[in-house]
A and B are shown apart, each in its own frame.
Chain A
């Protein structure tokens, strides 16, 4: 028996991943997990080294998955291969670079700052409905609605059905976030992807016929300039609605939980809203929405004194790096004024989250709104449940009273 479980889906690991990662880091920060079939990296320096080395580590998940599957399965899962293989997150240079330069313009800190008033209004409207009620499920009533409303607005498709998109995104998430204990995860994801593509394709065509000042029109224009393929345009639309809300939703929910469990910090933020920027960075570090990301070794590389071989895969545990005591003083403490705070919640290197600035701004507005408008909430359940997944840190619900 190993001293620490190698079951990444164990219930204790889902509930309290941070204790598990601490044990893992203390046992061996570069650990080969036989059960998962890959390396687990839990030390800050090793995580940063790998994330900043696209020559040594590939992100091309679909190519490596294709190698593992039979021809029949590759056909069966064609929808996820067709769409996800076009996603910037799963591509290596030079295609990654080309896509990133096209998409980056809409997501720079300066560009997203222009959307702040809209986000503030969305948050204000939602809280206006919530504040008199005395209770809410933070996930369903607030955390998912803020980012999904924002991204649909930016895309120029504000009238799309948010509940349908959430449902299909959850199906896609079963694969994307590595729900390793779900044998049908690829079938489920195919259903979600197919639905999203069918739903979004006419919207894209509409933008082609009637250009406007929005993100979808910008994608179509990039295609017409020859910078994106048609497949990349529709795949990127799916990525935007999916990536544009799932993770930010979890950032808002996890952060609200952290603040609810530290009432003095909630009050502090209420009294000192100027702390909001460093507060959001700390909430990202403390219990971020993405626990880990996967890379594939392109050639033998030394990490933490061990040799990772060509073709090996590595789970790069962002949440573990974010609580490495060699990097962060008192890492298990929530400290809203922590500075500097070089967390890796958005990853590092060329794949650093495209939407990081948008997510930061949305989270700033969400936590400002929550702390200004509501008293400290009390978590109204003894048993919080998380969606079982290796990659995401996602509460199923967060019932609170205030």
Chain B
């Protein structure tokens, strides 16, 4: 079920080690790129709760989730947010 809230999801590639936790928890939003690091394929294609759980599950804290409208950080390190 797609999220009604527009989210901006950022993966810090300096931190991502390809644990694939996010891909397991929210496979319609996250996928591995050629480097086997996480990339966001579709930020709308899951519930906000699942996306936040995936972000929180990252062992490296590499994922930041923001409200796309307001820029408010919903999960993740502020310093990594864009």
Binding site for B on A (CB under 8 A): 51-53, 97, 100-101, 104-105, 107-110, 340, 342, 344, 346-350, 352-354, 356-357
Q: Is the CB of A352 within 8 A of B59?
A: yes
B78 contacts across to A, CB distance below 8 A: none
A100 contacts across to B, CB distance below 8 A: 21, 24
Q: Is the CB of B17 within 8 A of A348?
A: yes
Which of B14, B35, B37, B59 is within 8 Å of A108, CB to CB?
A: B59
B18 contacts across to A, CB distance below 8 A: 51-52, 348-350, 352
Task: Indicate whether B19 reaches chain A with its CB closer than 8 angstroms.
Answer: yes
Q: Is the interface of B mostly helix, strand, loop or mixed?
A: loop
A97 contacts across to B, CB distance below 8 A: 20, 24
* Binary flags per residue of B13-55, CB closer than 8 Å to A gives 1, else 0: 0100111110011000000000111000000000000000000
Which of A110, A344, A346, A357 has the largest number of chain B CB atoms within 10 A?
Answer: A110
> B12 — nearest CB in chain A belongs to which residue?
A340
Q: Is the CB of A354 within 8 A of B14?
A: no
A354 contacts across to B, CB distance below 8 A: 59
Which of A53, A107, A349 is within 8 Å of B17, CB to CB?
A: A349
Contact A52 B36, CB 8 Å, known A350-B18, A352-B17, A352-B19? yes
* Docked CA distance A280–B57 (Å): 22
Q: Is the CB of B24 within 8 A of A107?
A: no
The interface on chain B, measured as residues whose beta carbon lies within 8 A of the other chain's beta carbons, has a size of 17
* Docked CA distance A101–B60 (Å): 15
**A101-B21, A109-B58 known; 19 other A-B pairs, CB under 8 Å?**
A51-B18, A52-B18, A100-B24, A101-B24, A101-B25, A104-B57, A108-B57, A110-B56, A110-B61, A348-B18, A349-B18, A349-B20, A349-B36, A350-B18, A350-B20, A352-B18, A352-B60, A356-B59, A357-B59
Which of B14, B19, B25, B57 is within 8 Å of A349, CB to CB?
A: B19
A109 contacts across to B, CB distance below 8 A: 58-61
> A53 — nearest CB in chain B belongs to which residue?
B36
Q: Is the CB of A350 within 8 A of B19?
A: yes
Which of A52, A107, A354 has the largest number of chain B CB atoms within 10 A?
Answer: A52
Expressed in whole angstroms, the minimum distance between the Cβ of A36 and any Cβ of chain B is 26
> A353 — nearest CB in chain B belongs to which residue?
B59
Expressed in whole angstroms, the minimum distance between the Cβ of B40 and any Cβ of chain A is 18
B20 contacts across to A, CB distance below 8 A: 97, 349-350
**A-B pairs with lowest CB-CB distance, top 5:** A52-B36, A348-B17, A109-B61, A340-B14, A52-B18
Expressed in whole angstroms, the minimum distance between the Cβ of B47 and any Cβ of chain A is 17
B60 contacts across to A, CB distance below 8 A: 109, 352, 356
> B35 — nearest CB in chain A belongs to which residue?
A52
A347 contacts across to B, CB distance below 8 A: 17
Query: What are some 26 contacts across the A-B interface (CB < 8 A)?
Result: A51-B17, A51-B18, A52-B18, A52-B36, A53-B36, A97-B20, A97-B24, A100-B21, A101-B21, A104-B21, A104-B59, A108-B57, A109-B59, A109-B61, A340-B14, A342-B14, A347-B17, A348-B17, A349-B19, A349-B20, A350-B18, A350-B19, A352-B17, A352-B18, A352-B60, A357-B61
Which of A101, A108, A342 is within 8 Å of B56, CB to CB?
A: A108
B25 contacts across to A, CB distance below 8 A: 101
Expressed in whole angstroms, the minimum distance between the Cβ of A338 and any Cβ of chain B is 12
Expressed in whole angstroms, the minimum distance between the Cβ of A119 and any Cβ of chain B is 18
B58 contacts across to A, CB distance below 8 A: 108-109
A53 contacts across to B, CB distance below 8 A: 36
> B15 — nearest CB in chain A belongs to which residue?
A342
> A101 — nearest CB in chain B belongs to which residue?
B24
* Docked CA distance A52–B33 (Å): 11
* Docked CA distance A304–B7 (Å): 40
Expressed in whole angstroms, the minimum distance between the Cβ of A44 and any Cβ of chain B is 13
A110 contacts across to B, CB distance below 8 A: 56, 61
